[in-house]
Amino acid sequence: MKPFAAFSIKQIALAIVAVLMVMVSLVGGLAAWQTRSVSASLERNNRDAAQSEFTAAAERLYRRAATQGEQLARWDETRQQLVQPEYYSYWRDQRVYESGMLASRHARAGLYDMQGALLAPSPSRRSLPARLPASATPFQPVAWLASENGTLAYYQSFPVFSDEQHRALLGHALIRVDFMAELLERESFHFIDTQSLALPLKPGETLAPADLFTRIRLTARTDPNQVRFQSIMSRTMLALFVLLAVTAVLGFAVYNRLLVRPLKQLSHEINAMQQGNDAPGIGRAPAMHVVELETIRRSLHEYQAQLRELHGSLEHQNREFRSQARQDALTGCYNRRAYEEDWARFQEDIAHTPQGVAFLLFDCDRFKTINDTYGHAKGDRVLTIIADALVMALRANDRLYRLGGDEFATFLARTTPAQAKQIAQRCQSLIEAAAFGDVGIREPVGISIGIAFCGPGHIERIAELPKQADIAMYTAKQPGRNRIALYGEDTERAAQTLVASRETSALFQALATPGMIEMHYQPIHALPGRKVDYYEALARIRYHGELIMPGAFLPVIASRRLETEFDLAVLNQVDADLTSGRLPEGVGVSINLSAQTLSRAEVVSLLLELSRHIARHPLMLEITETSLITQIAEVSTYLDLLRTVHFRIAMDDFGTGYSPLRYLADLPVDVVKLDISLISKLGQDNRAAKVVADFARMMGDAGYSLVAEGVETEAVLARVEALGIEHVQGYLLGRPIPLDQLAGTATATPTGAACPV
């Protein structure tokens, strides 16, 4: 859905003003149209009134002429002239006027005999027809209009009788009226434009009086009231429009000042707030004149203040969180995240100001053992004491980072190798002086310190310092060392360190590359008969064509906490080997797993997938009891689950750990593999051999299936067999061999007879 375009309040105001003006224009136009309509109606009325006025005036003139004619016809002196016309001209030109018979100077009278002949010709200026028209009936008045030299004449003839009974016709009287002159003189016209009066008649044409009204041409006089009305309306509309326009402009200005400007200001403030700009000038809008806006402004300012306060609080909390995020919760020193950030920034900074830099890596000696022995709480307390001692030993501006577990680090700026070693020695001294006994630790606790240094001239190699410090750390941890080693100075065993470095690289590459881990299988024989029941899958890393043995990479796994990743890689490889079908069917496979990884869901999940091979190859899991099983209940649950899918659980290297009996008690173990250090005792004829023998019998009595590891002599084998131990494993009967060789051997000796290595 397309969003609506937003309009500013100013645009809306302008639109309202525009709409208002348009509406006013429409209303004005309508009013003008109505005015014109009224004017047209008035004009029509005027025309009608003019026509009516003319009709009334003309009829009055007709009536006057008729009255005068009748009077004239009845006048004694008229009859006198008809019988004694000697002084007719005097009568016509003077007498009729002075007597009042013809009251108008525009009227003339004439007398005609019975035959309609004029008694005497009239002067040319006042001529009358020499004869009455033929249409004039003898006994009836007759009237007509005629055009005479541009003058409209109205004639009215009357019969004149010599008796009252109107039987004896004497002659005719004729009145001629100058129609227009008489009309204009006698009548007052209010509606007619008298200049427009015209009757278009041809010369000699006559017209009946009644036809005058249809032939007359006239124009209505413009009604002054109408003109005034129109003028007033026009002026009023113009004034109204101007007033509205001015009002709209003023209103817009007021609107702009009272609403638009304050709203804009508020909008700017809100935008500034949104953009996080809370400069001091913001939020200081002056008081507004509109109550609602003022309320909004106050609310906004209050909200802004609250927001600023909240922002400050959040920043404070953020700093707290950030500090906490960079702080190790246990020891209070900086954590690994802080280390990574600070180290990256330090490298950037140091590039601009070259100086001597030392990287110190600390590792607590035998911390795992302490932890397993005294428990986590005390282990944590040991770490806290160590951290406190290290912080005290470092310089004021130096930072101590806990990289993980018991590993700490720091990097020292503006230093020399000697100063770095001096600081390292101070760290060791303070730790040795620390009161570990207060937390119940009676064994001495020490740390190994690996130091790497690069001078101002080799600052480009600063990124290698952690790795070098790690190598130095290995050097420091070598037996006989004073546990402080400076890379390059104290690493006499350069080759070894190089190897160590190569194995580390090989390990990481193997974890990332399937197939690099190669499984070698050592047979486990059943006694008596020495039939191969199982092969123990043993991991090797093939790196650049050479095999790296577990003794080289297992310490790296332990120190890097890579047990899970490594076990997953081993399981995947075993799965691939089992799937390949090159293992003899019916022969089981025993897989070494760290007890730590058994609490990982992904390991368990992969094991459950492996269970699909159990029908052809019984599977057994060997748990190395030397590792620390911290989540023993959870591990026990998973082992129970695995047993339900017919995994067998074996306790590996029994006899070398710290608390094997506890694990036997808490975990669902089916098989106990006695470590070579115990089995080798069986070849001796002493108390130790007796203890081991008794222990083996006791375990067998307890229901555990026993496997004797490290059987290398026939004497030991005989002893093991005599003790009733069910399975035996050792170089005597078979060394670990690659799968390819195993497949060949199995083909050759499918029963799994002992084969030399």
Partner 1 sequence: MRFILAFLLCCVIPVAHAAVVTQTVRPGIPASADYRVGDRDKPAVLLIHGFLQTREFHTVATLADGLHDAGYTVLSPTLSLNIPARAQSLPCEAIHRHSLDDDVDEISRWVQWLKAQGHRSVVLLGHSFGSLQLLAYLSRQPDPVVKGYLGASLVEAQIGEADRGALIAQLEDRVRRKQRDLVSQPLSFCRKYTSAPADLLSYLRWDQPRTLAALRQAPVETRLIMGDSDNLLGHDWMKALRHIRTKMVVVKGANHFMDGEHEFDLLARALELLGQFNNKVAR
Residues that bind partner 1 (CB under 8 A): 75-77, 79-84, 86-87, 90-91, 95, 98-99, 162-164, 168, 170
- Smallest distance, partner 1 to C-beta of residue 112, A: 16
**What is the closest distance, in whole angstroms, from the C-beta atom of residue 41 to partner 1 in the complex?**
54
Separation between Cα atoms, residue 532 and residue 751, nearest integer Å: 7
DSSP state of 354: -
Question: Which tokens go with 701?
Answer: 């009595």
Q: Which residues contact 585 (CB under 8 A, 6 or more apart)?
A: 616, 617
Q: How far is the CB of 51 from partner 1 (least distance, A)?
A: 41
Please tell me the distance from the alpha carbon of residue 3 to that of residue 473, in angstroms, as a whole number. 64
Q: Contact at 8 Å (CB) between 72 and 172?
A: no
Q: Which is nearer to partner 1, 70 or 464 (CB)?
A: 70
Least CB distance from residue 148 to partner 1, whole Å?
29
CA angle 493, 498, 504 (to 5 degrees): 125
Nearest distance in Å: CB 55, partner 1? 35
d(CA 65, CA 53) in angstroms, rounded, equals 18
Give CA–CA dist 132/172, Å, rounded.
9
Q: Which two tokens stand for residue 324?
A: 């906490």
Per-residue CA distances from 659 to 36, 86, 410, 662, 666 (Å): 117, 183, 36, 6, 11
Minimum CB distance to partner 1 smaller for 45 or for 99: 99
Q: Which is nearer to partner 1, 93 or 398 (CB)?
A: 93
- Residue closer to partner 1 (CB basis): 94 or 299: 94
How far is 613 from 189, CA to CA, in rounded Å?
A: 132
Least distance between partner 1 and beta carbon 138 (Å) = 17
Residue 756 CB-density burial (10 A; 0-12 exposed, 13-18 middle, 19+ buried):
exposed
Tell me how far apart the alpha carbons of residues 265 and 283 are, in angstroms, rounded to a whole number.
9
69 vs 129, beta carbon nearer partner 1: 69
CB of 81 to partner 1, least distance (A): 8
In angstroms, rounded to a whole number, what is the distance separating the alpha carbons of residues 634 and 604?
A: 12
Return the number of the residue (163 or 694) whose C-beta is nearest partner 1.
Answer: 163
Write down the least CB distance from residue 76 to partner 1, Å: 5
DSSP state, residue 556: H
Closest CA to 642 of 634, 654, 652, 653: 634
Please identify, using beta-carbon distances, which residue of 87 and 213 lies nearer to partner 1. Answer: 87
CB of 96 to partner 1, least distance (A): 11
Give me the least distance between CB of 173 and partner 1, in Å please: 14
Shortest Å, Cβ 229 to partner 1: 55
Distance CA 144, CA 210 (A): 9
Q: Which residue do the tokens 């005097």 mark?
A: 90
Q: CB 212 → partner 1: shortest distance, Å?
A: 34
Nearer to partner 1, 170 or 511 (CB): 170
| The two three-digit tokens of residue 87, written as one number | 């002084």
Residues 6+ apart with CB under 8 A from 138: 114, 159, 169, 172
Please identify, using beta-carbon distances, which residue of 82 and 361 lies nearer to partner 1: 82
Sign, Cα dihedral of 682, 684, 685, 688: negative
Considering the complex, state which of residue 82 and residue 451 has its C-beta at the smaller distance from partner 1.
82
Token pair for residue 706?
């026993």
Angle formed at CA 725 by CA 723 and CA 730, multiple of 5 degrees: 110
Residue 99 vs 684, nearer CB to partner 1:
99
Q: Is 114 left (phi over 0), alpha (psi -120 to 50) or beta?
A: alpha
Q: What is the DSSP letter of 617?
A: S
Q: Beta strands of 544-675 (E only): which ranges?
A: 546-548, 588-594, 619-624, 648-654, 671-674
